[in-house]
């Protein structure tokens, strides 16, 4: 079973081009699944039927996994069997007729425009590190980037004359995203003034650098967001992804079309982007209720 699951993971890396983080997530889910089978004396994936899958889902529930997490595990195992059937390594798919646990519509948390402005005004940009942190937050909000995309940007990827950046998204898909004047201005200041101050005599190809010229990490940027959220007196739990969600929602509230937002976010399926229309609909209803003369 280990060989077959490794074969599937290799397929995800080589053929699908998934990121290391995504593959690690798939791998962790599959390890749990295989461990469950082995604990129940099942050593052949062909020996699994729907009853075993249901027992496995019940076991996940007993271990405290929420519906969303159980759904992710089931999707992972479903993909495994689909792949193995195509490869003729197994003959039946025991997951085929098992429904994904209902998780409802999980609306992403967003910030108001004022909250974003308070967050971005929090750093003291007279200091090189604060200038870097401000440039990172401005770029994340200004272009709707994922954290992994933000920390991977190299100097050659940003064009301040033409106001765009080039990023490598999920599945090694490249996209070009416009950036606004505020993100352009602060990043120009960071490149010309702050970056060389932090680098000293070290060279680096990355736009945003940490100690010894190394690129920033996801964990470091998460701490940066937390720090300035506290300084800005933002009581809610603000994460890096909150800025990406806010970028998408504010664009739609301002009148941007869904396809354009999909392209900028790097979503392969527009249904993923459509979740933001629910937020915008709530916003429109509030505006209607507040300002319509017949309310």
Residues with catalytic annotation? Answer: 146, 170, 241, 244, 267, 276
C-beta pairs of 212-220 under 8 Å, 24+ apart in sequence: 215/151, 215/152, 216/136, 216/150, 216/151, 217/151, 218/147, 218/148, 218/151
Residue 176's SS3 state is: strand
Sheet containing strand 174-178, edge to edge, reads 158-159, 164-168, 174-178
User: Do the Cβ atoms of 71 and 100 come closer than 8 Å?
Assistant: yes
Q: What is the distance between the terminal CA atoms of the chain, rounded to a whole angstrom?
A: 63
Cα–Cα distance list, 140 to 17, 26, 245, 264 (Å) = 24, 27, 10, 12
Residue 201 half-sphere exposure, CB side, CA atoms within 13 Å? 0
């Amino acid at each position: 079973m280990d060989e077959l699951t490794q074969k599937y993971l290799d397929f995800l890396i080589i053929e699908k081009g998934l990121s290391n983080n995504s593959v690690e997530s798939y791998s962790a889910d599959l390890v749990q699944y295989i461990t469950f089978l082995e604990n129940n004396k099942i050593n052949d994936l062909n020996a699994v039927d729907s009853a075993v899958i249901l027992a496995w889902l019940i076991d996940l529930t007993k271990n405290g996994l929420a519906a969303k997490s159980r759904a992710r595990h089931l999707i992972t195992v479903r993909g495994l069997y689909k792949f193995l059937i195509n490869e003729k390594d197994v003959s039946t798919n025991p997951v085929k007729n098992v429904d994904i646990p209902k998780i409802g519509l999980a609306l992403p948390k967003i910030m108001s425009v004022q909250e974003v402005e308070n967050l971005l005004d929090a750093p003291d940009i007279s200091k090189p590190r604060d200038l870097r942190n401000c440039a990172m937050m401005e770029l994340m909000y200004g272009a709707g980037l994922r954290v992994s995309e933000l920390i991977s940007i190299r100097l050659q990827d940003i064009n301040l004359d033409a106001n765009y950046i080039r990023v490598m998204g999920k599945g090694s898909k490249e996209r070009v995203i416009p950036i606004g004047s505020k993100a352009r201005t602060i990043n120009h200041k960071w490149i010309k003034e702050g970056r060389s101050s932090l680098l000293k005599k070290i060279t680096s190809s990355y736009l945003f650098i940490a100690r010894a010229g190394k690129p920033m990490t996801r964990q470091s940027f998460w701490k940066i967001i937390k720090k300035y959220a506290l300084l800005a007196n933002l009581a809610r739990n603000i994460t890096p992804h909150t800025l990406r969600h806010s970028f998408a929602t504010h664009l739609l509230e301002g009148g941007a079309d869904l396809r354009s937002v999909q392209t900028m976010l790097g979503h392969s399926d527009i249904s993923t982007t459509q979740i933001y229309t629910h937020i915008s609909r709530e916003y429109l209803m509030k505006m209607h209720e507040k300002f319509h003369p017949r309310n």
